[in-house]
């Protein structure tokens, strides 16, 4: 969630950026005075892992899983990417680009830098530029998604500025994998699941969320967020097991969809006993001969669970995570708060707000949004059905390289001891 171009949205807040890491175990926050990392292992407190005040106006800060590797962009130098070892407090390398950096994505193999009309693919082991995708359709919001899977290491980005085409690129073999005609309107949000085999998409219209198989591009699911109004989708996020998908927008409602096939939902048929039952049976039978647009209305999945946010109109980003053995929906918002909700994985329905924390890490005073005593309510008691400054170079378009060779040599991407994937040992 980059708020650098939307200072009005953040109000008087210091907040410029917020994002969850790849496995939703930590939260990165960029501010006018630097950046911070918070652990997401507890609901009751937002534990600060690290704070840096050396770099001002941090508009992008992306951490690689639970490692010490962090990618930083500042408004002071919006074309320059710094890659640092935050525990050592050292800069590993930096690169400068031909235009403003709009987004940075990381996984264990690749680092992606997104500009408005180009994408740079770096090898994360040595930070060298492997490939440049030039002359992409105008992408002023920096919309793109990178799979976190080593086996399915795909990049997705808009293939058109006028319709909702998705370009899928294989970042290992460095070739285009597919072009998916996802929506009629331009794209607004993209998200891979953890396996890299599913891609969720939403358009600027915001009424329908679709999920496609990757790399084939076959439509697997279609969910209807609403029909009454068009909205701006802020974020899409899969749960780590790929069974749930959240969609947040500029409205007060977050929708959570369950990814189950009709076969999985099959229940032995019973003869309807009410007018509603008869009507439903007739409607489902009629889908065989109704126009396709009408048929789609009947076959689109509805939200399994919903969240009512205590605000409307703020940009936000969501994550679905298991914290203290309970599924949660996390919402980091431009109002400067992180909201945590409980999700019932069996029954769904309205999610319960359990806690809210300030994104600056300061203590949160009692708030009328929470029920009385909710702050102290034991979570285990919840009942569920189931528990470069060197200039611009024409050949690659990115200039820079290693700043500290010993730090590059210390990169151990396969080691799992420090909650992988990347460990830069401290002497």
pLDDT in tens, 108-128: 999 999 999 999 999 999 999
Q: Which residue carries 């060197």 as its tokens?
A: 390
Average pLDDT over residues 395-413: 59
Rounded to 5 degrees, φ, ψ at 8 are -65, -30
Residue entry with tokens 């290693």: 402
For 282-309, what is the mean pLDDT? 61
| Mean of pLDDT over the chain | 81
Q: What is the pLDDT of residues 121-168, one digit of tens each?
A: 999 999 999 999 999 999 999 999 999 999 999 999 999 999 999 999
pLDDT grade for 408, boundaries at 50, 70 and 90: low
Residue 207 DSSP symbol: S
Predicted confidence (pLDDT) at residue 10 exceeds the cutoff of 50: no
Pairing of strands 103-106, 326-333: unpaired
Task: Compute the average pLDDT of residues 287-295.
Answer: 46
Q: Per the structure block, which two tokens stand in for 12?
A: 């008087």
pLDDT tier at 178, thresholds 50, 70, 90: very high
| Cα 369 from Cα 46, distance rounded (Å) | 18
CB contact set of 46 (below 8 Å; sequence gap of 6+): 27, 38, 39, 338, 357, 358, 361
**Alpha-carbon span 168 to 410, nearest angstrom:** 32
Give the pTM. 0.81
Give yes or no for a contact between 212 and 259, defined as CB atoms under 8 angstroms apart. no
Q: Provide the pLDDT for residue 302.
A: 86
Question: ∠ at Cα 336 (345, 368), nearest 5°?
Answer: 70
Q: Is the pLDDT of residue 9 over 50?
A: no
Looking at the chain, the whole-number percentage of residues with pLDDT higher than 90 is: 66
97, 106 contact by CB (below 8 A): no
Q: How far apart are CA 8 and CA 13, in angstroms?
A: 9
Cα–chain center distance at 25: 13
């Amino acid at each position: 969630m980059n708020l650098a171009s939307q200072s009005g949205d953040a109000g008087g807040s210091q907040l410029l950026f917020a994002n969850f890491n790849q496995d939703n175990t930590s939260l990165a926050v960029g501010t006018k005075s630097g950046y911070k990392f918070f652990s997401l292992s507890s609901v009751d407190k937002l534990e600060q892992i690290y704070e840096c005040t050396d770099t001002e106006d941090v508009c992008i800060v992306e951490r690689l899983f639970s490692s010490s590797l962090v990618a930083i962009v500042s408004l002071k130098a919006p074309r320059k990417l710094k890659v640092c070892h935050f525990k050592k407090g050292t800069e590993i390398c930096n690169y400068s680009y031909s235009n403003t950096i709009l987004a940075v994505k990381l996984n264990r193999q690749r680092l992606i830098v997104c500009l408005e009309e180009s994408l740079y693919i770096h090898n994360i082991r040595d930070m060298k530029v492997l490939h440049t995708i030039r002359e992409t359709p105008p992408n002023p919001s920096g919309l793109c998604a990178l799979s976190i899977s080593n086996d399915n290491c795909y990049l997705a980005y808009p293939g058109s500025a006028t319709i909702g085409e998705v370009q899928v690129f294989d970042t290992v073999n460095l070739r285009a994998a597919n072009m998916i005609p996802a929506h009629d309107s331009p794209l607004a949000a993209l998200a891979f699941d953890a396996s890299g085999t599913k891609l969720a998409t939403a358009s600027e219209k915001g009424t329908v969320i679709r999920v496609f198989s990757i790399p084939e591009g076959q439509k697997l699911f279609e969910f209807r967020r609403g029909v009454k109004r068009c909205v701006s989708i802020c974020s899409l996020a899969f749960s780590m097991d790929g069974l749930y998908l959240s969609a947040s927008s500029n409205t007060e409602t977050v929708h959570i969809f369950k990814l189950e096939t009709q076969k999985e939902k099959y229940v032995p048929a019973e003869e309807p006993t009410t007018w509603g039952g008869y009507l439903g049976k007739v409607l489902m039978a009629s889908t065989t001969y109704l126009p396709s647009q009408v048929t789609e209305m009947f076959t689109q999945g509805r939200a399994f669970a919903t969240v009512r946010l205590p605000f409307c109109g703020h940009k936000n980003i969501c994550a679905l995570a298991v914290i203290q053995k309970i599924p949660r929906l996390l919402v980091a918002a431009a109002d400067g708060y992180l909201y945590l909700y409980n999700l019932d994985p069996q029954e769904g329905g309205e999610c319960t707000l359990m806690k809210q924390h300030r994104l600056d890490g300061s203590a949160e005073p009692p708030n009328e949004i929470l029920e009385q005593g909710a702050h102290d309510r034991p979570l285990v008691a919840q009942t569920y059905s189931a528990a470069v400054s060197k200039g611009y170079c024409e050949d690659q378009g990115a200039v820079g390289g290693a700043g500290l060779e010993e730090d590059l040599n210390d990169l151990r991407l396969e080691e799992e001891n420090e909650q992988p994937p990347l460990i830069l040992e401290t002497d």
